[in-house]
Amino acid sequence: MTNALSQLLQEREWLLLDGATGTNLFAAGLMSGDAPELWNIDQPEKIIALHEGFIEAGSDVILTNSFGGTRYRLKLHDAQGRVRELNVAAARLARKCADAAGRTVVVAGSVGPTGEIMEPIGPLAHADAVAAFEEQIAALMEGGADVIWAETISSVEEFRAVAEAAANLGAPLCSTLSFDTAGRTMMGVTSEAYAALASSLATPPLAIGANCGTGASDLLRTVLGISGAAPGMVVIAKANAGIPKYADGHIHYDGTPELMADYACLARDSGARLIGGCCGSMPEHIRAMRAALEDRPRGPRPGLEEIRSRIGDFTSANDGTGEAAGAGPRQTRRSRQRG
């Protein structure tokens, strides 16, 4: 792996990430319930088009099409024996697009949750999770990823496992949790607890932050919490394009490019240096975000009322921290596809 991400962070105040994988692949014909990772072999031209669209829109970092690339997720599609094949292909496709960009574009190897509940609550042992993550990470490294990008993680146990796997292989790691349950993750982790845990690891991630969740307002509130609790860390913000709404048999996101442009600047002012979109984010959203970040000067750290007035109301009364926070962990199985 190269130090491309660290080098860019030394040169730039902020870097622009890409947008949604799933949303764009569904628009390209992926059917609900199908494994996007299979397209790395079966329809590589559509994965190349995905990456090229975000690079053309201005992304400095693109994520590989490998979110569900562990043996546990691929087992749902009888593809658990294809971990190396599918992840190497994912990284090579992204690498090909990045190398043809004419500028430095970082390839981040996407690693999503296993979908299993880990001990002590569930049956998945720590050693087995580490082994599964190592298998995927090794393949992404082989394919040419610059950095490993763990995303949509919800539990302390799974975060520890993916961080250990990356460290064992000498792979630089960025990590985002999804704070989608009244300001906490599905398993009850707060922004403050996450920041403290990441900072305490023997090999801390290069960057930490939040992705997905609910709307951009909630994610910005979480970013404020993370950057406040870990002022020395590089912070990631990768919000959904608005609020997901179910209509006409599909999930739709109501975030316009203009709203996402405002979000991007607020994320920067809140302390994030790696800024992008998650579910619902198309190239037009990323293009608007790039233009806004380049044209609008840095502002003061925003307050919650400014976020509410510019982006929309929060979906919960608080960010899961403090005496008023009452949300605890839910013991459920995560099966959501990123983006």
Specify if 328 maps to a domain.
Answer: no
Q: pLDDT digits over 23-82, tens only? A: 999 999 999 899 999 999 999 999 999 999 999 999 999 999 999 999 999 999 999 999
Domain membership of residue 297 (yes or no) is yes
Domain hosting 132: range is: 4-311
Say how many domains are in the chain: 1
Range in 34-43, 50-59, 100-109, 240-249 with the lowest mean pLDDT: 240-249
> How far are the Cα atoms of 6, 36, 135, 153 from residue 130, in angstroms, in the given order?
25, 23, 9, 14
Count of residues in the chain: 339
Within-domain flag for 338: no
Residue 244 lies in a domain: yes
* Spatial separation of the C-alpha atoms in residues 224 and 267, rounded to whole Å: 9
Q: Is residue 227 part of a domain?
A: yes
Position 158 scores a pLDDT of 98
pLDDT tops 70 at residue 334: no
- CA–CA dist 70, 113 (Å, integer): 8
Q: Helices 191-200 & 216-229, crossing angle to 10 degrees?
A: 40
CATH number at residue 89: 3.20.20.330
DSSP annotation of 124 reads B
- The 10 Å CB-count burial string (b at 16+, else e) for 304-337 is eeebeebbbebebebbbbeeebebebeeeebebb
pLDDT tens readout for residues 160-189? 999 999 999 999 999 999 999 999 999 999
What predicted TM-score, i.e. pTM, was given to this entire model? 0.93
> Quick one: pLDDT band at residue 317, thresholds 50, 70, 90?
very high
Q: Report CA 52 to chain centroid distance, whole Å.
A: 19
Q: Are 108 and 148 in contact (CB under 8 A)?
A: yes
CB 304 within 8 A of CB 46: no
Question: For 154-309, where are the E strands, in sequence order?
Answer: 173-177, 207-212, 234-239, 244-247, 250-253, 272-277
Classify residue 332: in a domain, yes or no: no
Instruction: State how far Cα 72 lies from the chain centre.
Output: 19
Whether the pLDDT of residue 244 is over 90: the answer is no
323 falls within a domain: no
Distance of CA 57 to the CA centre of its chain: 18
pLDDT over 90 (residue 330): no
Q: Provide the 10 A C-beta neighbour count for residue 76.
A: 13
Give the integer Cα–Cα distance in Å for 25 and 21.
6
Average pLDDT of the residues in 11-19? 97
Residue 109: count other Cβ atoms within 10 Å of its Cβ: 30
Q: What percent of the chain has pLDDT over 70?
A: 94
Residue 230 lies inside a defined structural domain of this protein: yes
Pairing of strands 15-16, 106-111: unpaired
How far from chain centre, in Å, is Cα 62? Answer: 11
Nearest alpha carbon to residue 52 among 89, 109, 94, 5:
94
Adjacent-strand bridge partners of 62: 107
The band of 2, judged by pLDDT with boundaries at 50, 70 and 90, is low
pLDDT at residue 250 in the model? 67
